[in-house]
Amino acid sequence: MRTLIIGGGLSGLALADALETAGQDYLLVEGRNRFGGRIITETHGGGYFDMGPAWFWPGQPRIAKLAQRFELEVFDQYAKGDLLFEDQDGQVQRGRGFSSMEGSWRLKGGMQALIHALSENLLKERYRLGASITALENTGSTLTATLASSESVVASRVVFALPPRLVAQVRFTPSLPAPALNAMQGVDTWMAGQAKALAVYDTPFWRDAGLSGDASSRFGPMVEMHDACPAAGGPYGLFGFIGVPPTGRTDEHKLRLQVSAQLTRLFGRAAADPDALFVKDWAYDPLTSTPTDREPLRTHPEYGLPDAMKGIWDGKLLFAGTEVAGRFGGYLEGALEAAETVLSDIVR
């Protein structure tokens, strides 16, 4: 029985890796020309900088186990030094020895190191990149997926390792029950409304000035900033989450100027001219976000698999991805949790 996995982010890759180990037949398709989904790591001057998820934490056993399995180096988020605060008038205040992300962990080489480790284990005939699914038909004994290229793939079951709102965009034959589609559209896509800016420098001048790299702001455009340096050596980085709503940040050139000005206000003239400035706006990434997702999340959603999305097409339609994880939804650990749950269903 072949399993078709749609989505080559962390959850889809972890499921494919587990099915490979279990000797199960599967095909993994990913719409992007790369694996990773919301995990993307930019490189500059030999440095690795995460523009999606960057951290994991103690008490998240699955990702820790994978890091150990692939011998990936784990290091602590830098937390030494003072915090900066920018008030609503753009005036900067210096605090004392505090880091909001102290105790979190990062990976040497960025989170992409984990994606590379998982994907390199897969046989080339078991996956397709640049292959988006547009339609799925239930013929009774099998499911037939249609790609954007008009090719078709036949499988016994399909696992959507995607945000549920993206799944709702697929054309289903026969149509899915209205409660199932409504449930999919009601699940907030984690991180989809966010944008992130990251500046790269040849020295960690803020550390030399006794700063942690942490800053918060009521002036913007970034509302929260952190040190993005590697465990050792350079190049060095500062990154921030942009608090301007998606509708107010469509002019990337203007946004970059605002980011540079804010970095200069906070960290001084040394921050004014970074070697590189990366900006990633997830709200306008069509393989992550829908227009509904452009309303920023104010709190962490209560995730888990809605009852209306269970047992569809006699259990042939399954869901992975961090949004359906019951305990760690929204985290990288949640992507692994969801893959583990689906694997149990398939093997059973």
Which tens digit of pLDDT belongs to each residue from 246-305?
A: 999 999 999 999 999 999 999 999 999 999 999 999 999 999 999 999 887 778 899 999
pLDDT for 105-140, tens place per residue?
999 999 999 999 999 989 999 999 999 999 999 998
Domains in the chain, please, with CATH? 1-39+113-189+301-348 (3.50.50.60), 41-110+191-296 (3.90.660.10)
Sheet with strand 157-160: strands edge to edge? 127-129, 26-30, 3-6, 157-160, 317-319
Q: Examine the pLDDT at 80 and tell me if it is beyond 80.
A: yes
Tell me how far apart the alpha carbons of residues 28 and 6 are, in angstroms, rounded to a whole number: 6
Q: Cβ(104)–Cβ(235) under 8 Å?
A: no
C-alpha to C-alpha distance for 136 and 156, rounded to whole angstroms: 12
For residue 52, give Cα distances in angstroms to 184, 195, 241: 23, 9, 10
Among candidates 29, 33, 49, 53, which has minimal Cα distance to 41? 49
Locate all alpha helices (DSSP H) within 186-312, ordered by sequence: 205-208, 252-267
Cβ-contact 157, 317 below 8 angstroms: yes
| CA dist list (Å): 88 to 35, 82, 261, 266 | 40, 20, 15, 13
Residue 345, classified by CB atoms within 10 Å of its CB into exposed (0-12), middle (13-18) or buried (19+), is: exposed
Split at pLDDT 50, 70, 90, the class of 348 is confident
